[in-house]
Amino acid sequence: MNSTIILITGANSGVGYATTKVLVSASKDFHIIMTSRSLTKVKTAMAELEASKPAGSLSALELDVTDQQSVDTAVAHVTSQYGHLDVLINNAAIGSRGPDVMKRFQDCLTTNVIGPAVVAAAFRPLLLKSSNPYSLFVSSGAASMGKASDPTDAVYKVNIPNGGAYRVSKAALNMLVLQEWIKYAETGLKVFAVCPGFVRSNLRGKSEEEVSGWGQAGDPVVAGEMILGIVKGERNADVGKFVWKDGVYAW
């Protein structure tokens, strides 16, 4: 098989779904493995995309980033079916604003940091079998220490409720990305932290107000188009950095 094999976690909604849509529409040579902790949801999402008869191809796979057995099963499937992986997009994430500090931080750190670390480690041998491997981690501009410590930046001024567990977890994810890049750069693995921008997402909550960012959030397809550019090699000059559609953020 000569296809570029791309696996996306949390692909049934939000940035993951939009990125899948952009990628599968971009090239007949792209095969996207859509994953989610709910196989039913990801199969439904896949059927929606296949109805538009995209150029590329899709498959669905259950993958819970917080469950080692689920990760191992997914790796075994990809190994059996494809023998390698060209692009890994660690996108699955959660937000939490509950009143219990312990639970809020444990939940966010488990899904948003430990999960991607486990997934990256598990799929790395398959990535290193690719002639042009990419490992992408979807982060958040709200996690930038540079932006958060700059009084002139909008991120500095944002009032985050309940301790900001989500942005703390994404800041930790950024350090994971940096360590991945430093450790594996010589292997040819191209590692990026990716800020999707302020786009529609159910991470803020389930109501239309929250999903739409109170009417301010953009279309996540913009994030998908940026990720397509990375996969096509258009951002290789920024490898090992925290990128957004118009440039690079400070860590």
Beta-sheet pairing, 247-249 with 242-244:
antiparallel
CA distances from 56 to 22, 149, 173, 229 (A): 10, 42, 30, 16
Strands 247-249 and 4-8: unpaired
CB 93 within 8 A of CB 142: no
Rounded Cα–Cα distance for residues 30 and 53 (Å): 14
User: Which region holds residue 163: left if phi is over 0, alpha if psi is between -120 and 50, else beta?
Assistant: left
Q: Is 184 a catalytic residue?
A: no
- Per-residue burial over 38-62, b if 16 or more Cβ lie within 10 Å, else e, is eeebbbebbeebeeeebebebbbbb
- Of 21, 170, 190, 241, which residue is the catalytic one? 170
| Residue of 82, 166, 184, 249 with catalytic role | 166
Please say if 249 is a catalytic residue: no
Residues annotated catalytic, as ranges: 166, 170
